[in-house]
Structure 1
Amino acid sequence: MRKRMYIPKNYLLLLAGFIWLLAGINILNIGYQSTSVLTLWMMLATILTFLVFYFAIFRKLIHKHTNRILRYAHAYMHILQFFDRKSYIIMFCMMSGGILLRKSNVWPTVCIKSFYTGIGLALCISGLCFIKQFYHQQLSFTNK
């Protein structure tokens, strides 16, 4: 029964892609629903948030996890191994912090909208990058 939880290691990239994409869509939805107000400053803040999170954090994680997964010695890996322990801890802290920030009403909804929309876009793009990595691995496997 435990074997069902293992998949070919390159499919972890596809799984990670879908999970990041779904998380991004969920965060985008929260940002979108937070307020109907949309200003130039909010759009600029959204773009800045996207740039910081994607280029400073998520892009590095995509490469780190892709390399870690592909270096793994076994052909099959547990489905939860698309992240390492440190990344699960960071994810838990980010989710908890985001929920607390939103529920505490410390930030105005216009800030929530631009922050969540920027992070959501960065997560969606990152998910697509994982899927692209999977696709490239499939191509290189079939060309061998």
Structure 2
Amino acid sequence: MKKKSWYHVKKRMLLAIGCAAWMMAGINVFRMGIMAYFHLEKISIFQLFLSLLVFGAFGTMFYKISRKHLQRIQAYEAPLKPFWYFFDGKAYTIMAVMMSTGIWLRTSKVAAPEFIAIFYTGLGFALALAGIFFGVLYFRYTNMQE
């Protein structure tokens, strides 16, 4: 029998780690979007509507991704996994590309402040909601073989 490492956690805990990761990212991105809105001279209903559209698109996508992560975590045969297994390689790659692109868009000033406000608010709210979904899965998850 293998010795348990300090970095191995129960499969259910991967959901809690996912919750924390998605929530931290979502709150931070949402905060940047709100700050960008506050720096605009005028906020229109149309801009807020566009933020809702961004939220809807990413919210749908993140919900599907969260379901896939749940299925992947459930399918792990070993009851203990390294804590970084809350994401798979593809998810880490997507996260790195999204973060790099976002940082580049803001620091290079390529994207207009209106775009940052609209996009980041919708995206951040969708990310945070995905985090909440992971948290709900953590608390509701009773079928996992610990």
Q: TM-score, normalised by structure 2?
A: 0.90
Q: Which has the higher helix share?
A: 1
Task: Say which SS state the counterpart of residue 3 (structure 1) adopts.
Answer: coil
Q: Distance in 2 between matches of 1:58 and 1:127?
A: 9
Structure 2 spans left out of the alignment, 5+ residues: none
**Equivalent residue number for residue 127 of structure 2:** 123
Q: Distance in 1 between matches of 2:14 and 2:37?
A: 36
Q: Does 1:103 align with 2:133?
A: no
- CA drift of 1:136 comes to 1.4
Cα distance change on mapping 1:72 and 1:35 into 2, 3 Å: same
Task: Give the one of 84, 106, 109 matched to 1:80.
Answer: 84
Task: Say which SS state the counterpart of residue 9 (structure 2) adopts.
Answer: strand
Cα RMSD, aligned residues only: 1.5
The aligned amino acid for 1:26 is N
Counting matched residue pairs gives 139
Task: Give the one of 6, 18, 22 matched to 1:4.
Answer: 6
Q: Distance in 1 between matches of 2:36 and 2:137?
A: 33
Taking only the aligned residue pairs, the percentage that are identical comes to 32
Task: Say which SS state the counterpart of residue 72 (structure 2) adopts.
Answer: helix
Q: Distance in 1 between matches of 2:99 and 2:86?
A: 18
Show the 5 A alignment for 1:30-41.
Answer: 30-36=32-38, 37=40, 38-41=43-46
Q: Distance in 1 between matches of 2:74 and 2:135?
A: 14
The aligned amino acid for 2:59 is Y
- CA drift of 1:89 comes to 0.6
**Equivalent residue number for residue 52 of structure 1:** 57
Q: TM-score, normalised by structure 1?
A: 0.91
- CA drift of 1:105 comes to 1.2
Structure 1 spans left out of the alignment, 5+ residues: none
